[in-house]
Amino acid sequence: MEEYLELGQIVNTKGLKGEVKLNSFAEDNSIFEKLPNVFLKQKNGLIKKYIEKVGYHKNQVILKFKDCNSIEEAELLRNLCLFVKREDLGELPEGVYYIADLIGVMVYTDENEYLGKVEDIYSTGANDIYVVKDEKGRQKLLPGIDEVIKIINLKESKIIVHLMEGL
């Protein structure tokens, strides 16, 4: 499992005092209020940044870092991806997984037919959609609901699904 998880991307500056706008990948943006620091990915690796203030505007998170005090400094952070240490996020509830841990996991039907590997997962609001791709590049979209996703076993890198009528 990865030590760092990607939680967003800085897309712009806000104001003149060094704040940045973040497109968050988190399910709950309030997580940023609990994080003492984050890491920004630059060409030479990850740079640790301490969070001074968290705000919200429309669908974005507004972050103020302790060492970023001008629009010029904030501008240098534009387009950088934001990561956090997995251990800083705490334990997940039973049956909840990080998308990064599910990417690449093999998917089988409950009749032991190999469907492919998880390529992506995206949210529709009602439920997640698992994008499963086979060796020939064909994709199958599976709703992330209990009737379809039966077993997730990360130790064996295996997901068992039940293909309902129409899937």
Q: Are residues 22 and 64 in the same domain?
A: yes
Q: Are residues 63 and 8 in the same domain?
A: yes
Q: Are residues 85 and 31 in the same domain?
A: yes
pTM of the model: 0.76
Indicate the residue among 58, 89, 120 that finishes a domain: 89
Indicate the residue among 35, 66, 89 that finishes a domain: 89
- Condensed to tens digits (0 to 9), the pLDDT of residues 21-67 reads 999 988 889 999 999 899 999 988 999 999 999 999 988 999 999 99
Enter the DSSP assignment of 111: T
- Three-state secondary structure call for residue 74: helix
* Residue 30 CA, distance from chain mean position: 14
- What value, to the nearest 5°, has the Cα angle with vertex 10 and ends 65 and 144? 120
Q: Are residues 52 and 127 in the same domain?
A: no
Q: Are residues 8 and 75 in the same domain?
A: yes
Q: At 47, which CATH number?
A: 2.40.30.60
Residue span of the structural domain in which 16 resides = 4-89
Q: How confident is the model over 110-138, as a mean pLDDT?
A: 92
